[in-house]
Amino acid sequence: MSKNKINDKSKALPKVIDKSKHLSKIVNKKASAKKPINLISTINKKIDKDNKAFEVMSASEKRVTIARDVLVQIESRRLKPEFSVWLKKKRGSLFSKPKENEEVRDALAKIKECSGCAIGGMFMCAVERADKLKISELDDAEMCKDYDEDIVVEELSEQDSFNYLKRFFDSDQLELIEAVFESNGGASFVDDAETFAPGLDSPSERMRLIMENIIVNKGTFKLNKLPVAVYKTPGFTG
């Protein structure tokens, strides 16, 4: 038999399939399919861990943490500072036809971008840390229930934001923060509030200054003290 015939015969032999490689591909596919679930689980665990840490903080530490969270939300562009708005979604209602007993924190987590004032931003960050507030407990939701209508909350109300934040800040502080952010043109009026950063018309910069002030002063907003890191929020370490 010639060598050529042997070569022809070898070409005709069926290809041997390496099953181990196919099994490896299948396993890898299954593993990669699970990765997003594991990532979500990891993120949720971190949030739970951070929130448990928040629970055991002192009152002043909680206020500082809320202020820091507001700065993070501004920098991430999830929160757009805006005058004359408590807290609203970029498009559509803030909350619409929520699940029964749905928490505000869980609903907010689904929203990619909000706009609001200093009080609204603080509310958002506080509720995402501390939770314990159902959508059905909000003012507009209560009104919808009274009229036997589907629950729709267009935007956060003054009463809801103040009532929740009183768990962390006293009423005078909240009134002062609102007055300073809106330069006495909002829901609150406080003598001398307009002396804080006069002439600064940017809602973003005003909110940053207020939050930096709270951080520098260990959880208390002080009207006559500007933070040392004015206009340097991205690298702020107060």
pLDDT digits (tens, 9 = 90+) for 61-119: 999 999 999 999 999 999 999 999 999 998 899 999 888 889 999 999 999 999 999 99
Is residue 151 domain-resident?
Answer: yes
CA–CA–CA angle 123, 167, 152 (5° rounding): 45
Is residue 85 domain-resident?
Answer: yes
Is residue 34 domain-resident?
Answer: no
Is residue 22 domain-resident?
Answer: no
Is residue 187 domain-resident?
Answer: yes
Model confidence band, residue 193 (pLDDT cutoffs 50, 70, 90):
very high
The residue that leads in pLDDT, 107 or 15, is 107
Is residue 196 domain-resident?
Answer: yes
Task: Give the orientation angle of helix 203-216 with respect to helix 59-75, to 10 degrees.
Answer: 150
Q: 218 lies in which domain range?
A: 57-235
Question: What average pLDDT score do residues 158-179 get?
Answer: 97
The pLDDT of residue 42: 66
Number of domains the chain contains = 1
Is residue 171 domain-resident?
Answer: yes
Is residue 103 domain-resident?
Answer: yes
* Cα–Cα distance measured from residue 98 to residue 96, given in angstroms and rounded to the nearest whole number: 6
